[in-house]
Amino acid sequence: MDRRQFLAVGGLTAASPVLARSASDGAGTTADPGLFREVNFIHDGLGLSPREYATLLHDATTQRDLPGDNYSNGGVIEELEQAFARKLGKQAAMFVPTGTLANHIALRKLAGQDRRVLVQAESHFYADSGDAGEVLSNLNLIPLVEGRSTVALGDVQRWVELSASGRVPMRVGVLSIESPVRRRDHEMVDFAQLQHVCGYAREQGIRLHLDGARLFNLPYHSGHGVQEYAALFDTVLVSVWKHFNGASGAILAGDASFIEGLYHTRRMFGGSLPQAWPTAAVAMQFVDSYEADYARAWQATDRVLALLRTDRRFKVRKVPMGTSRFFLSVTDADAAAVRERARQQGVLLPRPNPETGEFAMQVNPSVLRTTPETIAQGLLAAAKA
């Protein structure tokens, strides 16, 4: 058994709420058999409807006397913070209402006096957060490796040396790495290169931040566990809503001394929700099971793809160094019509690319709600005009 499979199978014993919910509804033990049925190839997670969310919230609040929080401190929020800190091998963690703010809070504190921050040009913080770092926190963001995901040693070295040798010598304060990279179809950063780059940065006294919004997808593809990744960095962001199905939010984990008092900065940015417990109450249900569910989801998806390949019209394109995304196309068929017919079969596809007709498919544990054979049959039927 290789390390990748070992990681995947290692967690198979964890109870999976995805499966538990589908199974109990199938047995007719809950009020609405229409819930928890859809398979989606769109979202990072289950894509819960408001009623499904409310059902899980009901479960959480009836199974025990769920402790609420006070302005995002204490109660089930603290439980979520501790659960993620343990999973990541970090001393402490803080809940932040969005990943956008979690990146910002981390980078502004890590930078200290050295406001030059190296980021990937394709990263969320550089490409999708406006100029928040510059405007709100006096950071000087330097975009690296446009059109690529992996930052090589030379890319960092160059900026460290350029900064040090200017007429006004400057130090690079932080290196921030996103992996997987959302804008690059969730391609992952090469692990060996990451080790080199992080090792060099540490020697130079540069602080390190990982935007691991989808970190928990990496072990299945790279064979390296989440703690191996987290250990390379001072701070780590993990999204709470993408894989763990909370209504919003992110976790920012690091040393106890880094996290201590950081809630004041969260509050300063208007990010201390008076009551954040409904997010944590649902996300907590997925913290232990997600990694194994994701591994099983890919195993099930590969079975679906093997079945689809028996029909020559289906074409599958995987992403080199990819994680949760693959591309699917159906030749000689109107992609929008295929999508609509698939929806009627309970399989939700993303909107097709208007030029190529390809579907950018997202693998998530919702595929575990039924069998690979049922999904494949649904798609094969949808492809027939």
Peptide bond preceding 180: is omega within 30 degrees of 0, i.e. cis? yes
CA dihedral (120, 124, 128, 132) in degrees, to 10, reads -80
Contact region with ligand PLP (CB under 6 A), list: 21-29, 95-103, 307-315, 336-344: 95-103
In the bound state with ligand PLP, the residue whose beta carbon lies nearer, of 25 and 122, is: 122
> Does 90 help bind ligand PLP (rule: CB under 6 A)?
no
Contact region with ligand PLP (CB under 6 A), list: 3-11, 50-58, 99-107, 293-301: 99-107
357: enclosing H helix or E strand: none
CB-based closest residue to ligand PLP:
99
Task: Out of 16, 22, 72, 100, point to the residue binding ligand PLP (CB under 6 A).
Answer: 100
Tell me the C-alpha distance between 211 and 42, whole Å: 21
In the bound state with ligand PLP, the residue whose beta carbon lies nearer, of 194 and 250, is: 250
Task: Out of 30, 73, 98, 374, point to the residue binding ligand PLP (CB under 6 A).
Answer: 98
CB of 265 to ligand PLP, least distance (A): 16
CB of 359 to ligand PLP, least distance (A): 19
Residue 52 phi/psi, 5-degree rounding, is -65, -40
> Does 236 help bind ligand PLP (rule: CB under 6 A)?
no
CB of 122 to ligand PLP, least distance (A): 10
Give the footprint of ligand PLP on residues 151-180 (CB under 6 A).
178
In the DSSP assignment, the letter for residue 92 is E
- Give the helix ranges, DSSP H, for 232-325: 256-259, 263-268, 277-283, 290-308
Interhelix angle for 372-383 vs 335-344, to 10°? Answer: 140
Residue 115-154 contact track with ligand PLP, rule CB under 6 A, x = bound: ---------x------------------------------
Pairing of strands 207-211, 250-254: unpaired
CB of 65 to ligand PLP, least distance (A): 29
Do residues 235 and 87 touch, judged by C-beta distance below 8 A? no
CB of 247 to ligand PLP, least distance (A): 11
CB of 245 to ligand PLP, least distance (A): 13
> Does 30 help bind ligand PLP (rule: CB under 6 A)?
no
Helix or strand or coil: residue 241? coil
> Does 211 help bind ligand PLP (rule: CB under 6 A)?
yes
In the bound state with ligand PLP, the residue whose beta carbon lies nearer, of 32 and 134, is: 134
Helix or strand or coil: residue 257? helix
Report the half-sphere exposure of 362 (CA within 13 A, side-chain side): 24
In the bound state with ligand PLP, the residue whose beta carbon lies nearer, of 102 and 347, is: 102
Give the footprint of ligand PLP on residues 294-353 (CB under 6 A).
none
CA dihedral (7, 321, 241, 228) in degrees, to 10, reads 50
> Does 209 help bind ligand PLP (rule: CB under 6 A)?
no
Per DSSP, what are the bridge partners of residue 141?
A: 117
Number of H helices, E strands in the chain: 17, 12
Quick one: how far is CA 358 from the chain centroid? 23
The two three-digit tokens of residue 288, written as one number: 């232990």
Tell me the C-alpha distance between 311 and 315, whole Å: 9
> Does 239 help bind ligand PLP (rule: CB under 6 A)?
yes
In the DSSP assignment, the letter for residue 319 is P
The two three-digit tokens of residue 363, written as one number: 């693998």
In the bound state with ligand PLP, the residue whose beta carbon lies nearer, of 53 and 200, is: 53
Task: Out of 11, 99, 246, 372, point to the residue binding ligand PLP (CB under 6 A).
Answer: 99
Contact region with ligand PLP (CB under 6 A), list: 92-100, 296-304, 306-314, 352-360: 92-100
> Does 182 help bind ligand PLP (rule: CB under 6 A)?
yes
Q: How many residues bind ligand PLP (CB under 6 A)?
A: 11
Per DSSP, what are the bridge partners of residue 326?
A: 318, 361
Residue 269 phi/psi, 5-degree rounding, is -85, 10
Helix or strand or coil: residue 337? helix
Residues that bind ligand PLP (CB under 6 A): 98-100, 103, 124, 178, 182, 211, 213, 239, 250
